[in-house]
Structure 1
Amino acid sequence: MSSSEDLVTLTADCLCKANIFTTQVPRSKLPLEAWACHCDSCRHVTGAIYTTDLTWPEERANVDVSALKAYSFSPKYDVLFCPTCSTLIFFASTQKPNEKLVVSTGTLKNAPGDFFKITKHQFVGDTGDGGASMWLRKPNTDGTEAIRYSKRAQDDNGNPAQAISYDWPSPDQLTGYAAKTKDPVHIWCRCGGVNLRWEPPSYEGIKDEDLPWFVDPNTHKALAGFCACESCRLFGGVDVWTWGFAELKDIHFSNKEPGFPNSSDALRALVDARDPSVGSLTYFASSSDAQRYFCSNCSASIFYAWDERKFMVDVALGVLEASDGARAEGSFSWAFGGAISHLEENAGGWRYDQFQRVMKEGEDWRISRGYPKNWRRLAREEAVERA
């Protein structure tokens, strides 16, 4: 029996703190093996463009998940999430009741230590463009590379699958920094209860000074960026959260019926009224002036709305289906390699170092693809230089 000095406590919780799970693991077992998944189903059930998971060390029979809501993710697994705030905490086998739960690493407390190691990326082929695997190439403390697979790491017979190189996809297969697509972008959750479309405007003929603050004056693409705050992380249960920005006037019901709210006040009122037009969309007020919208059936994070920005929302990138891949580079201007918002919140814990690696990998990938720094990153760096 290990002494208390040899045990490390793992804590997983949800955004509203109604559900908190703790377990202990021998320090000698760390880091635990984790894996990233980029499949269409995981992206659309979380709102994140990838998930990272590991086996929860506690025996399943000892974990009380009665306060969590279950959604049938597949014939083999349910996802268990907080019905109040949407945090997806566990995957649970439906065919093997004694099999241990799988926990979303984004729900783990940010404590000092080296808790897990990502060994593989699965279903990268579903992304079309590599998705988040591009900035998670070497996500671990020891600098090792996480192996990428188009589908699973093993075939149906348990044999190792062929890995795919980080050179995939080639630059000529990507939309690139400058080119902008005109295709509408589908917004949908895993269960289909949220079913919308976003039509990115052209902004042709509009002066730079009249563009929305989040629109790149060079490409007229909307900003896509990284957030390290606890609220975003717990909203979707993933460590590195990504948002895109859109004006509400450009979001529509998928059946092309008019009437989708063009302000956050109107959106909140429609959801509060339980209007059937919004389907399973609900929200959690993470602060007095902010609403985090998600699917009440399957947990997928959809929007972040802030009362001071009434005519726009942050859109969870994992629920988008774009013609050019999971990153939707034809619609978004990514700040690859730039500073991650709210990074300072993670000081003193393992996530701070992970985010540093994400920034480095993002920068290396940006340079390898010949992408320039996006305008927001340049503006921030210039402001620092002037200070």
Structure 2
Amino acid sequence: MPTLQAQCLCTARTFTAPLPAQLPLPAASCHCTSCRRVTGALRASGTPWPGDGAAIAAAAAAPHSTLRRYRRSGRVTVLFCGECGVGLKGAEGPAGEVPVRCHCGGVDFVLRAGEAQREYAEWQRRGRELPWFVDPVTHKALGLVDSCDTCRVWSGAELFHWTFSALRHVSFAGGDGGGFPQSAVDLGAAVEAGDGGTRDPRFGTLALYASLPDV
């Protein structure tokens, strides 16, 4: 059976896995600050390892192992060769919450991204249709690059980027995050509520502007 091989530069560490029947393998390229600093490159590329990830983790935990661990962030641990420094595998913990806030801090919400991913994975397992903005492999929300006149004039940038979420996965930041509107109509009404004690102060400085009848 054809195999896939992952090997560091000094060849001290080699891992193999059966080559999946479905090719090409899904891959991702990231240029976040962590990826650039860990690799020293402008970006890092990777693919989910199709083999036994537990075996690699066990090899890293073995006495006198040359496979080292580096906790890159609260969620991601990198396994790399202690001899040549080549990163071989990343171990990602459970997805958590993503802060949604503006620069001045007037808007401060939370996107419960991990909860959304787990929910959509369960939907798929049960044969339920996923929302159009959910990737069927990662169950993450898709991103969109927009160059329409409205987006460019509003942002002052030639390209603008969007992502999407069901409002049930958004909450107010802080201890009491409940009560966030569950539909776009309800959110608009809540944001435009008068200041006479009817508007929830947790909306902060969030405002609404309709550039088009449905946008």
- TM-score by length of structure 1 reads 0.30
**Alignment partner of 1:198 is 2:111:** yes
Q: 1:272: which partner in 2?
A: 192
Q: 2:101: which partner in 1?
A: 188
**Alignment partner of 1:230 is 2:149:** yes
Q: Distance in 2 between matches of 1:257 and 1:242?
A: 26
Q: Distance in 2 between matches of 1:235 and 1:181?
A: 36
Q: 2:44: which partner in 1?
A: 170
Q: CA deviation at 1:209?
A: 4.5
Q: 1:117: which partner in 2?
A: none
Whether the 8 Å contact between 1:180 and 1:219 is mirrored in structure 2 is: no
1:301-339 deviations in Å (ceiling 9; x for gaps)? xxxxxxxxxxxxxxxxxxxxxxxxxxxxxxxxxxxxxxx
Distance 1:210 1:218, change over 3 A: same
Q: 1:245: which partner in 2?
A: 164
Q: 2:134: which partner in 1?
A: 215
For the aligned residues, what is the CA RMSD? 3.1
Q: CA deviation at 1:232?
A: 1.3
Distance 1:225 1:180, change over 3 A: farther
Matched residue count:
131
Q: CA deviation at 1:277?
A: 2.1
Q: Distance in 2 between matches of 1:242 and 1:166?
A: 26
Distance 1:180 1:287, change over 3 A: farther
Unaligned runs of 5+ in 1: 1-124, 131-149, 151-164, 291-387
> Which SS does the other structure have where 1:231 is aligned?
helix
> Within 5 Å, which residues of 2 pair with 1:115-134?
127-129=33-35
Aligned partner (choices 169, 180, 183) of residue 260 of structure 1: 180
Whether the 8 Å contact between 2:141 and 2:165 is mirrored in structure 1 is: yes
Q: Distance in 1 between matches of 2:97 and 2:109?
A: 10
> What is the percentage of aligned positions where both structures have the same residue?
32
Q: Distance in 2 between matches of 1:232 and 1:166?
A: 34
Q: Distance in 2 between matches of 1:286 and 1:218?
A: 34
Q: Distance in 2 between matches of 1:180 and 1:231?
A: 38
Match of 1:259, as an amino acid?
G
Match of 1:184, as an amino acid?
E
Whether the 8 Å contact between 2:32 and 2:43 is mirrored in structure 1 is: no
Distance 1:166 1:241, change over 3 A: farther
Q: Distance in 1 between matches of 2:185 and 2:140?
A: 26
Whether the 8 Å contact between 1:228 and 1:241 is mirrored in structure 2 is: yes
Q: CA deviation at 1:224?
A: 0.8
Q: Distance in 2 between matches of 1:228 and 1:271?
A: 27
Q: Distance in 2 between matches of 1:241 and 1:212?
A: 22
Q: Distance in 1 between matches of 2:129 and 2:203?
A: 31
**Alignment partner of 1:281 is 2:206:** yes
Whether the 8 Å contact between 2:135 and 2:142 is mirrored in structure 1 is: yes
Whether the 8 Å contact between 1:222 and 1:245 is mirrored in structure 2 is: yes
Q: CA deviation at 1:233?
A: 1.6
